């Protein structure tokens, strides 16, 4: 699964240049979060600017600790997760994560609250609740995995800290 997430893409060229120019910029914690529907939030406010959301999505990845962040120029901005590092949904007959990347589903699980998690591509995604009825039509009931065990099982950190 993790360390480095297989879903990560190369960061933007402008980010690469900034990292070389300013290698010692401190990381940011507690500023950015991801909700259960795949929205990035700045201090609990949904990011409305499409260009900023797309920039974050293009540069969103995990470090070796299982902490998810986006590379903002030379700075890593760590993301507090409401549940899982990815939120996945149906995109026609396929699936995609909240960043718009294709998501190849593997094993599915459900927690005691009825949430569905799907492993795939070296990470785990929370199925968007708007797709639960479609999932129920297509799949048999997946095995139970206690919510408190999900982050440990898939080796990610919901509340990154320095």
Write the pLDDT tens digit of every residue in 4-50.
344 545 666 765 665 555 567 899 999 999 999 999 999 999 999 99
Closest C-alpha among 135, 74, 75 to residue 110: 135
The dihedral through the CA atoms of 121, 31, 162, 51 has a sign that is: positive
Longest CA span, the chain: 52
pLDDT reported for residue 5? 43
According to the model, what pLDDT value does residue 2 have? 31
Neighbours of 75 (CB within 10 A): 16
**What is the DSSP secondary structure assignment for residue 129, as one 8-state letter?**
G
Read off the tokens for 59: 């540069």
Instruction: Identify whether the C-beta of residue 2 lies closer than 8 Å to the C-beta of residue 66.
Output: yes
For 13-81, CATH number?
3.10.540
Measured CA to CA, the distance from residue 73 to residue 80 in angstroms comes to 19
The pLDDT tens digits of the residues spanning 77-127 come to 999 999 999 999 999 999 999 999 999 999 999 999 999 999 998 899 999
What are the structural domain ranges in the chain? 13-81, 86-153
């Amino acid at each position: 699964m993790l360390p480095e997430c297989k879903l990560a893409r190369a960061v933007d060229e402008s980010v690469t240049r900034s990292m070389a120019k300013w290698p010692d910029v401190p990381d940011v914690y507690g500023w950015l979060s991801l909700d259960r529907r795949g929205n990035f939030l700045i201090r609990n406010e949904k990011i409305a600017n499409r260009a900023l959301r797309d920039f974050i999505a293009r540069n969103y990845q995990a470090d070796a600790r299982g902490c998810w962040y986006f590379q903002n120029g030379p700075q890593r901005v760590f993301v507090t997760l409401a549940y899982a590092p990815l939120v996945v949904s149906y995109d026609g007959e396929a699936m995609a994560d909240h960043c718009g990347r294709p998501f190849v589903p593997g094993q599915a699980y459900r927690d005691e609250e009825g949430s569905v998690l799907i492993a795939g591509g070296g990470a785990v995604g929370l199925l968007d609740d708007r797709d639960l009825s479609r999932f129920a039509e297509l799949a048999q009931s997946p095995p139970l995995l206690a919510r408190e065990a999900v982050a440990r099982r898939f080796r990610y950190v919901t509340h990154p800290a320095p």
